[in-house]
Amino acid sequence: MIDTRLLLENFDATAARLARKGVEPDLIESARDLAQQRREQRRQVDAARAEMNSGAAQVGTLMRQGQGDDAEKLRARLAESKVQLEELEGELRVTERELDDVIMRIPNLPADDTPDGRSEADNVVLRTEGYDPADYEGREWAPHWEIATRLGIFDGERAAKLSGAMFSVLRGDGARLLRALVDLALRLHGDTYEEIAPPHLVRTDVISRTGHLTKFDTQAYRVRDDDLWLVPTAEVPLMGLHQDEILLEAELPLRYMAYTVCWRREAGAAGKDTRGMQRLHEFHKVELVKLCRPEDGEAEFASLLADAERPLQVLGLPYRVVELCAGDLTFSAAKVFDLEVYSPGVDRWLEVSSVSLVTDFQARRGLIRFRRESGGVELVHSLNGSGLATPRVWAAVIEHGQQPDGTIRVPDALVPYLGREVIGS
């Protein structure tokens, strides 16, 4: 969550930054008013407690001086003051709950260098790697679901029979290809990131503190009768590892990776990009997460982007780097770069990874701090990105590898993991 001091001490500038992300002014003003009310109520509570403590000390003094009547009168006044203090504390708790409800709906501030804009149309293509339009001219490019269905490695009909729309059943080499992509990603990132195998179910406070319950509150899957949620991304349990902890500066940066199955309802336009592996409720992903000192955030963001690009480079897939505008940023992010792979089967660029700089937003919610070697405790900054999200990369491998004889040429980097050079031969 954002620092409420920004609302109290620098409201206009903070409101202007949040407006770039599309936050309604009424919500920001409500948070400021509640923060001001909480500050005043805390002052009143502190003053009342100080008066109570002082009065209790005076009672003791009067008793020692043999002034029992005066001591009893003071005790009676303190009893009335205690009732007033309890009322003040109750009012403060109500205000804190109201403020918490409002502040949890306010997203992270966009970075100053994030471009202005309201939607995907305003995002900025920074660079394109490995793409030449001439490579795709003069031949037909089938979409991956047609190729994979014909080869018997993708079974959309049985997936729908089992679970409904936007699920997949991969068979034979299709299943092995997915596992090969995961193995490749874990191997590529293994020298830099510590691999974690976290639970796939997390408690409400864990998913809330990362900002994902607010973001995915209509998309997350909750387990019936339990205070547990299926993870929308491994970022959630990885960030939850150090909730309520104070780390040592020498431990930072912490770099984690995890392979998990992820679940999202993927609410959106009905039928949009839902064929094949383009958009799924359940998918496999290797996630990368970093915790670092505030001053190291930008450098770690640049290296995280390079790490997310490596699998695409190794697989020989054409991709581009897109900087998201302020209005298209995710709830918790201050800055986001998307990686999009070109899909010749649908002649479109499809997002396969988002690399996010989250600053101290999640750390403040999760109380993840570190102690400076010189003394003092501060919030860590966090970053996250997809080391490899399998569905669309799987689809891209199929589409780019299609051969005139109907087979699929496998990228050289995957051959040791898949055990063959060609699918469908």
pLDDT tier at 307, thresholds 50, 70, 90: very high
Give percent above pLDDT 70 in the chain.
Answer: 97
Q: What is the mean pLDDT of residues 346-368?
A: 95
The domain over range 4-103 is classified in CATH as 1.10.287.40:
yes
Backbone region of residue 33 per phi and psi (left: phi > 0; alpha: psi in -120 to 50; beta: other values): alpha
Instruction: Give the residue extent of every domain in the chain.
Output: 4-103, 120-423
Q: What is the mean pLDDT of residues 98-106?
A: 92
Q: Mapping DSSP to helix (H, G, I), strand (E, B) and coil, where does residue 381 land?
A: strand
- Give whole-number Cα distances, 220 to 214, 238, 392, 401, 411, in Å: 10, 17, 21, 34, 34
Q: Which value, to the nearest 10 degrees, does the dihedral of the CA atoms of residues 177, 127, 187, 184 take? A: 10
Residue 341 phi, psi (nearest 5):
-95, 140
Q: What is the mean pLDDT of residues 396-420?
A: 95
With contact defined as beta carbons under 8 Å apart, do 304 and 417 qualify? no
Query: Which residues does 206 contact at the CB level (< 8 Å), separation at least 6?
Result: 236, 237, 240, 243
Fold of 120-423: BirA Bifunctional Protein; domain 2 (3.30.930)
CATH topology agreement for domains 4-103 and 120-423: no
Pairing of strands 254-263, 194-196: parallel
Pairing of strands 245-248, 368-371: parallel
Distance between CA atoms of 94 and 45, rounded to whole angstroms?
Answer: 14
pLDDT tier at 217, thresholds 50, 70, 90: low
Does the pLDDT at position 151 exceed 60?
yes
Does the pLDDT at position 270 exceed 90?
no
